[in-house]
Amino acid sequence: HQMLKRLWYLFVSFGGCVLAVVTMGTYSVLLFASTLVFMLLVCSVSPRHVHSWVFGIQMLWQTSWHLLIQYKEYYLHEPVSIRLFLAVSSTMLLTQRITSVSMDVQEERVILPFHISRQRRAWVLFLPLCSYILNFTTLLGGPLCSYSQFVSLIEGISLSPPPNPLGVVSLKVMQVLLLESVRHCLVYFLKLHAFDPSDSSVLCGILCAWGLAVDLRIRYYSHWRISECLNNAAGLGFWASFSGSSPNWSGLSDGDPWAIETSSRVSEFARRWNTTTASWMRRLVFLRCKTFPLLMTFGFSAWWHGLHLGHFVGFLSWAATVKADYKIHRHFQPKLTTTWRKLLYTCFSWINTQMIITCVVVVVEFRDMSGLRLLSATYLGLFPLLNITLLFIL
């Protein structure tokens, strides 16, 4: 059992190293340097202070590369290597994993075995940690799981192999194909009815911007499903179920597209979107911040995503509209006394949510002033402004 477990740890960590080198080339050093520094900090800093050191050094390292990308794009006007983009994106995911472990150590949810001999320490401590950080199934796309959950999954595979994942992987591949089919139809429609500010109506502009945002979101949904397929194919993400029930492969997931898109409140959408990252930010910032926790959480999200102008405008607007959503819902909820009122409120609330999320997605994904210009030309920017105005009125 111990030998099989070690082989699994070696398999996922070696696979991660190979994947990093093949996809990122020399930029894979970003990941290896972060992993090495994290190991040194875990061994040399007390559990009480390890998180502060890990968080500070890792975010400084990640931010320096984000600023390098901005320097190349906006100052030198040079094309940025796709390998560098991949490495920085993977570093962002690695930041999630190592800070998750450092918080576990600080809060004593994970007790690292430093008392054992040096020979055994390599197998019992360093190998599982390296496997968790450089796991090839989550290296490029997530989702985030805790260190304890990862160890439990590997233990489960070693003790009793999960059922054949072919069925669930095939189903998720079909979901990806369906999502991409919808996306390609949407792109075809957008090209056919391209928005022209001087010639198109306001409604046409709003629908085109909304379609563009849906297209961008579907890319994320497909990416998440592909990541789930990779994890499931490797045997990860399976939870033992009661006898007679179907196998549960939902242990590693970033969210259900249908549940996300049918959210009728901005705050509900925020909780459901990229659930593992949302939970990580809640634990890292929201629960630890005593002053303006919501604003600080979304502000940190802008920092973590890359410090572009669009990131600050998008995430801070999202924070304000989430706060407004709580106020608006609390104000109107007692007045929804009949079924038709509740239905009407839900419909308007869903449209409002879709328009606000469209604004956030467009600004964040475009990153620069072009996203703000599009919202101005289509008048979509009025939706978050109206919600923020209601926040102060109510």
Token code pair at residue 63: 């931010």
HSE at residue 362, side-chain half, CA atoms within 13 A, is 26
Nearest to 234 by CA among 136, 148, 113, 104: 136
Cα torsion 21, 22, 23, 28 to 10°: value is 10
Nearest to 322 by CA among 367, 259, 384: 384
Distances (CA, A) of 55 to 95, 164, 290: 8, 39, 18
- Sorted by sequence, the CB contacts under 8 Å of residue 310 that are 6+ apart come out as 363, 364, 365, 366, 367, 368, 371, 372
Compute the Cα dihedral for 383, 388, 389, 394 and give only its sign.
Answer: positive
Type and span of the H or E element at 363: helix 339-366
The catalytic site residues sit at 274, 305
Compute the Cα dihedral for 268, 274, 275, 278 and give only its sign.
Answer: negative
What residue type is 300 in one-letter code? Answer: F
SS3 103: helix
